[in-house]
Amino acid sequence: MRAAVYEGPGNVRVEDVPDPALVLDTDAIVAVTDAAIGGSDLWAYRGYGQRPPGARIGHEFLGLVTEVGADVRTVRPGDRVLAPFMWSCGVCDYCRGGLTSSCLDGGTFSEVGHDGGQGEAVRVPHADGTLVVLPPADAVPATRLLPLSDVMATGHHAALSAGVDHETTVAIIGDGAVGLCAVLAARRLGARRIIAVGHHAERLHLAVDFGASDIVQGSGEETLEKVMSLTGGVDAVCECVGAQAAFDDAFAMTRDGGRVGYVGVPHLVEGIDLSKIFARNIGIRGGMAPARAYLPALLDAVIDGQLDPSAVLDLTLGLEELADGYAMMDDRLALKAHITI
CB 69 to Zn ion: min, Å: 17
Site for Zn ion, rule CB under 5 A: 88-89, 92, 95, 103
What is the smallest separation between the CB atom of 95 and Zn ion, expressed in angstroms? 3
Residue type, 206: L
User: Are 26 and 73 within 8 A, CB to CB?
Assistant: no
Q: Cβ closer to Zn ion: 92 or 269?
A: 92
| Minimum distance, C-beta of residue 145 to Zn ion, in the bound complex (Å) | 23
At residue 44, φ and ψ (nearest 5 deg) are: -65, -45
In terms of CB distance, is 23 or 333 closer to Zn ion? Answer: 23
Please, what is the minimum distance in Å from the beta carbon of residue 127 to Zn ion? 13
CB of 106 to Zn ion, least distance (A): 6
Q: Which amino acid is at 296?
A: P
Q: Which is nearer to Zn ion, 89 or 284 (CB)?
A: 89
Nearer of residues 92 and 252 to Zn ion, judged by Cβ: 92
Tell me which residue of 54, 58, 46 sits closest to 15, measured CA to CA: 54
Closest to Zn ion by CB, 82 vs 89, is 89
Residue 32 CA: distances (Å) to CA of 157, 209, 216, 217, 261 = 26, 30, 38, 37, 32
**Could you give the CA distance from residue 38 to residue 271 in angstroms, rounded to a whole number?**
25
Based on CB atoms, which residue is closest to Zn ion, 37 or 153? 153
C-beta of 91 vs 230, nearer to Zn ion: 91
| Shortest separation between residue 90's beta carbon and Zn ion, angstroms | 6
Q: Which residues are bridge partners to 12 per DSSP? A: 6
What's the closest the beta carbon of residue 98 comes to Zn ion, in angstroms? 11
Q: Rounded CA gap, 14 and 6, in Å?
A: 9
Task: For the CB of residue 111, give the shortest distance to Zn ion in the complex, in Å.
Answer: 16
Identity of the residue, 103 or 177, whose beta carbon is nearer to Zn ion in the bound complex? 103
Nearer CB in complex with Zn ion: 19/25:
25
CB of 293 to Zn ion, least distance (A): 11
